[in-house]
Structure 1
């Protein structure tokens, strides 16, 4: 009797850290179910990932790392998401078509931010499941965007015409619509909105919407997405390579071992947030002013304006009380008993990780879906507090000190964080909702 061929799928993330990590973890899960995965990064990001893995090990058998040019010139800033978006489909579409034909790929899992890839269904007949790297709520908001334009809340260039609360779960202000806040210029907002409207017309093509969430935490949003498969939280085991762009500094774990239980503020703003001098210095001084120990992730491109001598003096002044690292093993930090709270940009991955580890949040969103995630944390789940900026858009050191004191003295918020931790862990257990949805996905991808 001839054994059936090994199931084979291609995975296509948007070229940003917060998109690669959950899709890499989903790929690991599929490999555990017997799949062979072709994981397609841009050449720039593929090189970064392989370099960061040098210290940690190699991608396990079953995941084949492939790469395609992103359309930018070598001298361009490949981390500029706004610049990337415009030319990705033109640069990647034909090479993907060729790859699919040569490898005889029957199934692709495409990042929702690469929804233009749905056209491949028509050109090469590949079946596609979309993966939402943001919440089910933001996906539902995406589908509602034409109605918001029709109703005059925003226009087709992403300009806010009516200042009002969008009554979704969670409710958000019209100025915080992700594709509006993502654009730093009017032209970029226009491109963002145009891309969403164009690819929304393809949303009948995916055979499933895979969501890094779970039923209990987003029941209302999931109810309006009929073909959603919530399989989250997609959180990797501590030892598993996850596609990070920077090497992780493990020294913070040893440092955390020396701190008292529930005493450390963990501060990390993801891979895309950028602070100017004023914001950076207020954050630094606010952490020192709080009086609590802290681990602060300052990645290489977090700020371009800070004076090295000033920062060197700051680190010296907090030596023993605070630790600054360039990139951290976030899950291991969040699960450490010394960590008391998580100061975050509220990216969806970080939000799911904080929720899974039962850590209260201090929220400081930067752009895109992060305002919606903050609304979930502060207004719906009630597991954290918002750090409010002043009229100049700066979160002051006094605001940081006051909110740290308020959060760490609030036993009700801590209790709710533990409750959601228990619900998150329950959802991924065998026989429970996210685990069952993963099995449904596995069976779907085995169809030929």
Structure 2
């Protein structure tokens, strides 16, 4: 009689409750399941309901063998969850107890926690698990985060995050130079009190990065070798992608339903002709920027696909104006609510990407060889723009005028410049090749993924 097979190792995956954090950890979870691990994927109750709604709309899509669980986030039904500081501050008190109970009841031995949830390191002592951290940002941003105490010691920022000397920060020749005023926690703050909260949280949680069994990074060695040297136990496994075989895999982590009709529209467009425009899950444009962007896309004379999620504007732009714009550009431009971005960027009709430069978008476009027009909004996006424009040379910046507005003429001119620059095209092709090689069998990220799987099998 054959001996009963031993149960597969079980891993808990814990993202910060925001779309740009959930999606890359969902991609990693699919990779772990592919290698035979069991994954309990934790959402907050609020986001869990959103994800289930999208999955139900995807003709009964399943999570691909990933077990979806959820816990309260400490906020009421009408809580202001776009306030990252307020949301983040309440998570440890709301979640640590239920997480510990679940870990014990399910005999979980490993937790992979978002770096933004590094308070989960406490579970190593209370629940007896081993903890790896996952960076949803570039490794350069993690290195910059670890460098904050020195920035304070050098008088570049004070202990509240206020910029005292707005000089260029350049940690290494192959890392993105960034102005002190644009370090992620300064641009997140908005007010001195909020900046103080973010900087104090960075200083409080930085030690967790050194204590983690690994810091898993959605990047690859060829583009961030210097940054990886500055982060202890860094393990680059990117670019991470969701399985493309079916929509169900990506639906398991989406907060908004994807409009897949745009793929058929792209099929009808000329190769390398379409401007793709998307600004992620947090960017909010005011009426002036929104209308200037719309007019700029029309002014290019090129076909465009524009993702305008329901809360993309501050409410000043009316539905009537957007509906009139859609009718005016019909046949030339297509506006959707939320696009299947990975598939869009992989489509041969796409020529360039007008992007907020979130790290997920940056890695997806790099992987598929799509050049950027950069329009960062906040947080790490300025650092990512610096990578794109100053280090990799795969895109150009959209610059605001004296009023702080990116004009329609600027958009038209930069599109024309980007798509006629042969040096940018060559660099885009080079980095696409490097990205694909890293995740292919025997590539650096593929080897590191196998190292991670073996680590997670350790009891």
**TM tier relative to shorter chain:** over 0.9
CA distance in structure 2 between the partners assigned to 1:124 and 1:418 by the alignment = 47
Q: Which residue of 1 aligns with 2:209?
A: 203
1:190 deviates by 1.1
Structure 2 residue corresponding to 1:270, chosen from 262, 280, 283: 280
How far residue 61 of structure 1 moved from its aligned partner, in angstroms, is 4.9
> Does residue 1:230 correspond to 2:225, yes or no?
no
1:354-384 Cα shifts (integer Å, max 9, x gaps): 0000001000000111001000000111000
1:104 positional shift: 2.0
- 1:433 paired with 2:444, answer yes
Q: CA deviation at 1:110?
A: 0.2
Match of 1:93 in 2: 96
For normalisation by structure 2, the TM-score amounts to 0.95
**Hey, which bits of structure 1, 4+ residues long, moved more than 6 A?**
none
Of the candidates 295, 299, 312, which is equivalent to residue 285 of structure 1? Answer: 295
For residues 396-444 of structure 1, the C-alpha deviation after alignment (integer angstroms, 9 at most, x for no partner) is: 1111111011001112111211111111000001111000000000010
Structure-2 separation of matches of 1:360 and 1:347? 14
Equivalent residue in structure 1 for 2:354, among 336, 340, 343: 343
| TM-superposition CA deviations, 1:282-327 (whole Å, max 9, x none) | 1111111111110000000101221222222111111111110000
**What is aligned with 2:222?**
216
Match for residue 365 of structure 1? 376
Alpha-carbon separation, structure 1, partners of 2:449 and 2:67: 21
Which of 303, 307, 320 is residue 297 of structure 1 equivalent to? Answer: 307
Q: Taking structure 1 as the reference length, what is the TM-score of the superposition?
A: 0.98
Matched residue, 1:30? 32
> 1: CA distance between counterparts of 2:211 and 2:418?
45
What residue number does 1:137 align with?
140
Match of 1:241 among 249, 268, 286: 249
Correspondence list, 1:49-448, <5 A: 49-56=51-58, 57-168=60-171, 169-238=175-244, 239=246, 241-242=249-250, 243-303=253-313, 304-448=315-459
Query: Residues 43-54 of structure 1: matches in 2 within 5 Å?
Result: 43-54=45-56
Quickly say closer, same or farther: Cα 1:281–1:183, change in 2 above 3 A: same
Post-superposition CA distance 1:84-140 (Å, at most 9, x none): 122112211222122212222110000001011111112222100000000111111
3-state DSSP of counterpart to 1:219: helix
127-136 or 151-160: which moved more?
A: 151-160
With 358-367 and 404-413 compared, the bigger mean Cα shift is at 404-413
Kindly indicate whether the alpha-carbon contact (under 8 Å) linking 1:121 and 1:205 is maintained by their aligned counterparts in 2.
Answer: no
> 3-state DSSP class of the match of 1:67?
strand
SS of match in other structure, 1:203: helix
Q: Report if the CA contact (8 A) 1:249-1:325 is conserved.
A: yes
| SS of corresponding position for 1:52 | helix
CA distance, structure 1, for counterparts of residue 65 and residue 454 of structure 2: 18
Question: What is the aligned partner in structure 2 of residue 19 from structure 1?
Answer: 21
Q: Specify every segment of 5 or more residues in structure 2 that has no aligned partner in the other structure, as ranges.
A: none
Following superposition, the deviation at residue 345 of structure 1 comes to 0.3
Deviation at 1:237, TM superposition (A): 2.3
1 CA distance for matches of 2:71 and 2:85? 19
RMSD: 1.2
Change (3 A) 1:321 1:120: same
Distance in structure 2 (CA, Å) of the matches to 1:79 and 1:203:
25
Q: Secondary structure at the match of 2:222?
A: coil
- Number of aligned residue pairs: give it: 448
Q: Distance in 2 between matches of 1:271 and 1:72?
A: 20
Q: CA deviation at 1:204?
A: 3.0
- Displacement, 1:65? 0.4
In structure 1, the residue corresponding to 2:36 is in which secondary structure? coil
1:256 CA drift (Å): 1.1
| Mapped contact 2:209–2:215 kept (Cα < 8 A) | no
Name the CA distance, whole Å, in 2 between partners of 1:21 and 1:310. 32
